[in-house]
Amino acid sequence: MAKENQTVVVLDDDHDLLSVIQEALVGEGFKVIALSHPDQTLELQARDDLDLFLVDMMLPGKNGLRIGEYLRTVFPNHAMVAMSGDRLSLLFAARSGIFNGTLAKPFDIDMLVETCRQFAGLYVTRPMPASPSPLQ
């Protein structure tokens, strides 16, 4: 079971998969905020009750790495896991320094739950690599 009141934000444009993930994690005691479009992440800025972000790397009109960068600036100490069926995208995510873990699609529910248990509530202290200044 999840630690009490752990909240997982799941960002994936596949509505069927989003429903399966939500049902599985709620069944394991997690609270879930299911988002199907990257722009919905803007609504999370004022939240202080989030424990983990699961981010799909292939989103409509947005690159998952860019979404991760944005989330990392807003939530610098929260754990993030990249999800994708594309192994190259997961490799880029793993090497980016943005994400704390990866989850390859298709995944089974046990792997999903174990990943969430491993990373939810993890306080990230590793500094992010410096981003180039937009003025340079």
Dihedral sign for Cα atoms in the order 81, 84, 87, 89: negative
Q: What is the pLDDT of residue 31?
A: 97
Collapsed DSSP state (helix, strand, coil) of residue 124: coil
For residue 79, report the phi and psi dihedrals to the nearest 5 degrees.
-75, 145
Residue 112 CB partners (closer than 8 Å, separation 6+):
21, 24, 25, 103
Q: What is the pLDDT of residue 118?
A: 95
Q: What is the pLDDT of residue 1?
A: 61
Q: What is the pLDDT of residue 130?
A: 45
Return d(Cα 122, Cα 22) in angstroms, integer: 20
What pTM was computed for the model? 0.89
- Band of pLDDT at residue 131, cut at 50, 70 and 90: very low
Q: Which residue has the higher pLDDT, 136 or 102?
A: 102
Domains recognised in the chain with CATH numbers: 7-119 (3.40.50.2300)
